[in-house]
Each structure stands twice: as C-alpha cells, then as structure tokens.
Amino acid sequence: MDRDTVLVLANPAEPQLRKLEQLPKETSIAVGLTPEAFERLAPDADVIFSWAFSRELLRHVVTISPRVRWVHARSAGVDNLLSPELVSSPATLTNGSGVFSGSLAEFVIGAILYFGKDFRRLVRSQMAGVWDPFEGVVEISGQTVGIVGYGDIGRAVATRARALGMRVLGMTRRGPLLYHIDPLVDQVFGPDERIRMIEQCDYLVVAAPLTPQTRAMIGEAEFAAMKSTAVVINVGRGPVIHEAAMVRALSERRIKGAALDVFDQEPLPQGHPFYLLDNVLLSPHCTDHTATWLDDAMDFFLANYERFRSGQPLLNVVDKTQGY
C-alpha cells in the first residue's frame, strides 16, 4: 500500500489532532504553524489539511509541495484561503461544508423567534422588575423567509423553517432549474431577481459564500426593497452585505432588525454601531461552536481521507475559480 504524506497546518497542541492517530500507520505526518515545520516532508506531500486559518502559510506550503493532490480546509468558507497559488494548483480542494449547517440553521430559527416574539423586550422588562404586557407579537407560521445562497446551510434553514409553517424562498447563482423541484422551497430566484424575492420576505437569511460576485450583494437597493418589518440574518460572510447600508437601514428604523454572526472586520471593533443598536442581535462568529464542532470537523476530514485512500470521489469539492 502506498505511503501517504500529510501536512497539517495547526498548533500541535490542538487536542483534536490526537484523532490523526487513526490514519494508517505508514502515513507520514508533519504538523506546525511555520513554514519550517513542513520543509522536510513537503516535496513528497500528498495531502494538506488546513486546520488553522492562515492564508499566507497555506500559500507557502502549497508552493513547496509540488506533488500535493488534495487540500482540505476545516471551514466551510474558503475565501480567506484562496491564494493564486492554491487556485492554480492541480490539487483538489475540499471544505467543511455541511459539518456546521445544523447549528447555524438553529441560530437562524432562534433569531426569527427572538424578533418575532420580542425576546429583547421580555428580558429587559424582567431585568427591570416590570410587569409589561404588550400586543404585536408575530405568529411565525405563514411568514416568509428568503435565503440568499441556497446551499447546504440554506437547506438546513429551510427544513427547520418548514417545520414552523413558514413559506420558503431561495436564491441560487443559477436560479430556478427547469427539471428540479425542491419540496422545501416554494420558489427559486436567480441573482438578477433578488429584489423581487426580497420584497416578499419577512426574514432574509444570507448564507452565500464571499466571491467577487456576492461582495456587497445586499446593499442600498436591497434594503430599500425590504419591508419595514423585515429582519436580516447573516450566517454566511460579512462582506456579502454592504455594512454601511445596513447600519443606515437599522439606525433609521427602515427595517425591524438584524441578527449577525459575521462581520466585515472580526473581532468587531470597540465602538462599532452594531454594539449600540437595540435592534441588532450580535453573535461573535460562534453560532456553530457546539460542544463537538471541532471533533466533528476532524471526523469529516478522516472520513474524506478514507475516500481519498480508496480512490472514491471526495466530498465537498470546491470550484476554486468560483470560490465555493
């Protein structure tokens, strides 16, 4: 059996790396966070596993690994890793898409309920010791959720939204397919039709990858098209939404609110308007950090590695030219 060489871009102290002991005994492994950690084995490397998110380190390791056939990124998003060297490399790139979709979708449902039932007001009244009955809570059943970037996360959202009796709209790069019907989605739109979809939405979920085509896709025109009662929920990438346009829409109460897990700059700087707006639910990019999320990510790599070893098609292959 062939002896594979695997380069793992990670802090050697990461506890999940112990799972690499499950690789075949004949596997050669190098682990580290510096170029020097990989110089000896890189010429013979077959696999690069980017556990840490360092574009520059990955770029360097790819350039010194002429034989590499497969690069795997722990995360679902790869926009921060796609150097020209990686894109031009003949190596197949895969990602962690699907590993974290369930918990991200649960955050979306939580955000829908948070704004629909005005949980912020309930907590504020409780903390103030005030008995404050009010009217105007929203019945979620029958409302419309639109999903920008209807991929794995989008389908996880749609499954849960359907269970609440919601109407589901989806937007994909290709738009509606003539011979494909997704029972979870009432209607599929293309990017050029996004205003028509957004006008119908009570909740707009952004789950699209960051590419040149999606950067600032949700901007002034899109916010102008939203209902005054609409809520934006971003679990994709921060720059897919034009941040300044969103701040203006929230500050001027032109939309009801926003639930955000991703941002243009992370960590979010002190004094940022999002910290001060009472119609924003802010998560510091951790909605998928379950008790087992890192173990799940490692288990996915190991399962894909078995496919690599046996010559089966790899899961989650990324189109490097498209960025997802």
The answer to whether the CB of 49 falls within 8 A of the CB of 96 is: no
- Alpha-carbon distance 206 to 226, whole Å? 14
Same fold for the pair 5-99+291-310 and 101-282:
yes
Q: Nearest CA to 144 among 248, 227, 82?
A: 227
HSE (side-chain half, CA atoms, 13 Å) at 140: 22
Q: Note the pLDDT of residue 53.
A: 83
Whole-angstrom distance, CA of residue 168 vs CA of residue 184: 7
Count other Cβ atoms within 10 Å, centred on residue 176.
15
Cα separation, 108 vs 94, whole angstroms = 25
Q: What is the pLDDT of residue 181?
A: 74
Structure tokens at 201: 């939405």
- Strands (E) in the chain, as ranges, are 5-9, 28-32, 47-50, 70-73, 92-94, 144-148, 167-171, 187-189, 203-206, 231-234, 257-260, 280-282
83 contacts 138 by C-beta, under 8 angstroms: no
| pLDDT digit string, tens, across residues 6-20 | 999 999 999 999 999
pLDDT tens, residue by residue, 82-102: 999 999 999 999 999 999 999
User: What's CA 126's distance to the chain center, in Å?
Assistant: 34
Tokens in use for 41? 């084995």
Which pLDDT belongs to residue 176?
80
Q: For the chain, give every domain's residue range.
A: 5-99+291-310, 101-282
CA distance 206 to 305: 31
Spatial separation of the C-alpha atoms in residues 7 and 29, rounded to whole Å: 6
> Cβ of 203: how many Cβ atoms within 10 Å?
28
- Strands 70-73 and 5-9, by their bridges, are unpaired
What pLDDT, on a 0 to 100 scale, did the predictor assign at position 180?
64
Distance CA(267)–CA(122), nearest Å, equals 28
- Domain 101-282 sits in CATH at 3.40.50.720
Stretches in the chain below the pLDDT threshold 50: 1
Class of domain 5-99+291-310: alpha beta
